[in-house]
Amino acid sequence: MDTPPAVRARGITKCFGEVVALDGIDLDVAQGQIHGLVGPNGAGKTTLLGLLLGLAAADSGSLDILDTPVGRALTAPEGVAGFVDGPGLYPSLTARQNLAALAALRGGRRARGAGIDDALDQVGLTDVAADKARGFSLGMRQRLGLAAALLTRPRLLVLDEPSNGLDPAGKKHVHGVLTRLAAEGTAVVLSSHRMDDLEALCSEVTILSTGRIVFTGPLSKLAAENSELDYRLLTSDPQTARRIADGTADVHVAGSAAEWRGAEALVVRALVPALDELVAHLVRDGVAIRELAPVVSPLEAAFLALTEPQEAGR
Amino acid sequence: MTATATAPAAPAAAGPPRVSVARGYRFEVVKLVSQWRVRLVVLACWLAPALFVAAVSQQSTLPSDTLFGRWMHATGWAGSLVILGFSGTWALPLLTSLVAGDVFAAEDRLGTWRHLLVAVRSPRRIFAAKALASLTVILLLVVGLAASSIVGGLLAVGNHPLVGLDGHLLAPSDAAGKVLMAWACVLAPTLALAAIGLLGSVALGRSPMGLLLPALVALAMQLAQMLPLPVAVRLALPGYAFISWSGLFTDPGQLRPLAVGVAVSLVWAVVATALAYAVFVRRDFTNASYDGHGRRAVTVGVLPLAALLGATVAGVAVATPSMHSGIEQDKVQRSVAVAFAHLYRMQTDELNRPAVTEAQLRVSAACNKGGGQRTAEGAGNDWRCVVSWHLPGVRAVGSAVYQLDITSDGRFVADGDGPKEVNGYFLVRTPNGDAPNPLWQFDGNVELLDTTPKG
């Protein structure tokens, strides 16, 4: 039996006066999936996240969240948590008091005490639990916002730029939490401008531009649909590698070698099949490959390729 | 395509469990009490009046320009009424600004609206919780002002009789009841200001105007009370009960203006709260940089309140034929005569003379304005009264002169102009030494609404 999607949107349109923020959006997010939302500023990401959180109602179209149709009233079904435009925290309360007040609001006795400690521990804020939120950095605020969302044991978690301001340790905590939630069946929809985060976390992405979807689907599909990418190639023998690359069909070598971390790097442009061919040639000729990575991530390249024409056409 | 926006809402069975208003209320109270400025204000309201009343009561110079200030040496109840007068003018408008004027705007400032809406899932319940929480804090502040000033006065001066606004003496138990009643009456205009604060906070968002609105409205109302407005307009202003509580301290009480003032204030409180609610539930919470409704705030907030003012003026004008100043010669004469008779008895008692009654004194007053050159009507400091009285067994008629300064709201200060033995000097020589002369200067009140003289 098919499990219903956590989010099912069809033909969602939302306008603010003359401005069309969302124009006929279709979106599906499966349970247990981390779904990335990408788009340039003003693309409609925050508006879409706001609809999922029940902060606004669509002008037209249908939206089902956690198998519950969402009407015009400003409310989201139980099981939805998250934040847009940064978490809402009360600076005069400590981290623990912020969570305790929220737990008391929800009436979840279970969420109090141990639940709060657990949420703080998951996001790595146990040591500052007694500190007022007023003194928190942006990254700490993001993590506390995530802890607040965790308290409600969400089945759909909606996060707007959750990686903003995170240091490596904070990022590790947040990624760990999101991955574990997804493994437990929670659907996560997050927006970010950090493509590396999205590539590390998301199984599917949706790219928005000027209120419309220009791509939605798995990252692998995005890479396959995309045009050629530039790859940085570090080998044990740059001269031989250049010669082999020049001789490989559909592989284009950049004019001059680039310095990369103290070594001579080759930049080649190719589709994935041609790149596979090049790697096979290099190995066959005894050239060791020390690094092969896209100069610009596939998602970022796709994002730029798909959104720039739309932005230019504005 | 199905347009869900026009389709029925989700079935109730599938809806989320509600965050009750009670839980939202506790959440709001926790947030308010966690603010250091709210804690400070609560502390100040519970301590400062007691300290002020106790300190002033020990001074040789009393705030005699404030209603009941001249009696602060005589009884502990006077201090609370001085604080009440000050609160109606300054403290309560500012406190309501601080609490009700900020309760919604604070979420705009902190950027927490979305968080709150996701947590509570109902703008209606958020509104109810915030309104109730701010009401609770405001009540806490008012109760603090009242309790503190009463305790301070009673501890510093004692539980003695209070001289009413017409000179009659209230027993301590009567004074206690009327002081508490006066504080209860000013809750009505406080609620009206709080509701205006809610409206400003909702409609103007982060704009400082939202925070200042109750204070500005209160200031405007005070300025209006200083103008020579018709009585109907004066009574239709929601702050009139800040003034008309003084009617409790006359005998018989001037209760009609007080009742009208309280009723008008409550109507304003209900209407302004309803408007705030209507604006709030229509708000777009997706706009993080919301700075109020701008011009729409005028149409949804200011215009209905202006219409309400017009309606209350019309209502009061129909209910009471009062489209004049309300300060007329016969009413002034009656007020001065009544107060003089009561205070004369007090002076007689101080001087250890044979007791007389008001009926025996048969006091009358003849007042004119501007030396008789002007119509004896309306506010001004150019009223002059000649008071006459009789003593049992004495054929001669006593007379004394007073200069009156009557303000537009009907209050007056009568300043004795002689003879010196009666009202020309601030002290009288008693068998126990010099004592304050109750006839030298006294406060009084002209009831602005038309009354039928009794007796």
Q: Is B300 on the interface with A (CB under 8 A)?
A: no
For residue A54, the chain B residues in CB contact (below 8 A) are 117-118, 121
Q: Would you call B122 an interface residue with chain A, using a CB distance cutoff of 8 Å? A: yes
Supply the CATH number for residue A150's domain. Answer: 3.40.50.300
* Same domain, residue pair A198 and A232: no
What are the angstrom distances between the C-alpha of B444 and each of A223, A244, B263, B409, B413?
89, 109, 24, 11, 6
CB pairs under 8 A between A and B: 145
The answer to whether residue A311 is domain-embedded is no
Helix (H, G, I), strand (E, B) or coil at B162: strand
Name the pLDDT band for A311 (thresholds 50, 70, 90).
Answer: low
* pLDDT value at residue A312: 54
**A28 and A67 fall within a common domain:** yes
How far is the C-alpha of B340 from the C-alpha of B331, rounded, in Å? 14
User: What is the total count of domains within chain A?
Assistant: 2
**Domain-located, residue A313:** no
List average pLDDT for each run of 10 residues in chain B, which is 455 residues long.
38 54 92 91 96 92 89 94 93 91 87 85 91 95 97 96 93 96 96 92 80 88 89 89 93 90 94 92 68 62 82 85 84 95 93 90 93 86 94 89 93 91 86 87 89 50
Q: Is the peptide bond before B252 cis (omega within 30 degrees of 0)?
A: yes
Of A63, A68, A106, the CB nearest to B119: A106
Determine the straight-line distance between the first and last CA of chain B, rounded to whole angstroms: 82
Instruction: Please report residues of A whose CB lies closer than 8 A to that of B35.
Output: 92
Angle value at C-alpha B330, between B329 and B333, nearest 5 degrees: 85
What mean pLDDT comes out for the span A141-166? 90
Domain stop point among A207, A223, A239: A223
Domain end (from A223, A257, A287): A223
A207 and A288, same domain (yes or no): no
Q: Which of A200, A223, A246 is the last residue of a domain?
A: A223
Same domain, A153 and A244: no
Least confident of A129-138, A261-270, B143-152, B365-374: A261-270
Across the interface, which of A81, A88, A104 has its CB nearest the CB of B116?
A88
Residue A299: the pLDDT is 78
C-alpha to C-alpha distance for A35 and A16, rounded to whole angstroms: 26
Same domain, A274 and A289: yes
| A259 occurs within a structural domain | yes
Please tell me whether residues A34 and A172 are part of one structural domain: yes
Which of A52, A74, A146, A189 to substitute to test the interface with B, most B CBs within 10 Å?
Answer: A74
**Whether residue A266 sits in one domain with residue A205:** no
* Distant-in-sequence, close-in-space partners of B13: CB < 8 Å, separation ≥ 6: none
A197, A39 Cβ separation under 8 angstroms: no
Note whether residue A58 is domain-resident: yes
Q: Which residues of A fall within a CB distance of 8 Å from B288?
A: 85
At A23-42, the pLDDT tens digits run 999 999 999 999 999 988 88
Give yes or no for residue A111 having a pLDDT over 90: no
Contact criterion met (CB < 8 Å) for A73 and B35: no
Amino acid at position B389, single letter: W
Residue A22 lies in a domain: yes
- Report the length, in residues, of chain A: 314
Whether the CA torsion A257, A259, A260, A263 is positive or negative: it is positive
CATH number at residue A282: 3.30.70.250
CA atoms of B241 and B260, how far apart (whole Å): 8
Burial of B263 (0-12, 13-18, 19+ CB in 10 A): middle
Chain A, nearest residue to B34 by Cα: A92
Q: What is the Cα–Cα distance from A300 to A306, expressed in whole angstroms?
A: 10
Cβ contact, residue pair B35, A92, below 8 Å: yes
Residue B244: name the closest of B226, B256, B233 by CA: B256
Same domain membership, residue A172 and residue A39:
yes
The 8-class DSSP code of residue A127 comes to G
Residues with Cβ within 8 Å of B282's Cβ and at least 6 positions away in sequence, in order, are: none
Mutate to test the interface with B, among A90, A106, A109, A164 (most CBs of B within 10 A): A90
- A257 falls in which pLDDT band (50, 70, 90)? low
Is A211 contained in some domain?
yes
Of the candidate ranges A270-274, A302-306, B35-39, B169-173, the one whose mean pLDDT is the lowest: A302-306
Cβ–Cβ gap A60/B9 under 8 Å: no
Residues A192, A48: one domain? yes
Residues A218 and A234 in one domain: no
H helix or E strand, kind and range, residue B380: strand B380-391
Q: Is residue A231 scored above 90 in pLDDT? A: no
Residue A280 lies in a domain: yes
Would you call B114 and A90 a contact, using CB atoms and an 8 Å cutoff? no
Residue of B nearest to A25 (CA): B1
Range of the domain at A259: 227-296
**N-term to C-term CA, chain A:** 44
Residue A7: which pLDDT band, with cuts at 50, 70 and 90? very high
| Rounded average pLDDT over A107-125 | 77
Task: Report which secondary-structure segment, H or E, holds B3.
Answer: none
For residue A11, the chain B residue with the least C-alpha distance is B1
- Answer yes or no: do A46 and A94 share one domain: yes
Cα separation, A246 vs A241, in Å, equals 9
DSSP assignment string, B185-201: HTHHHHHHHHHHHHHHH
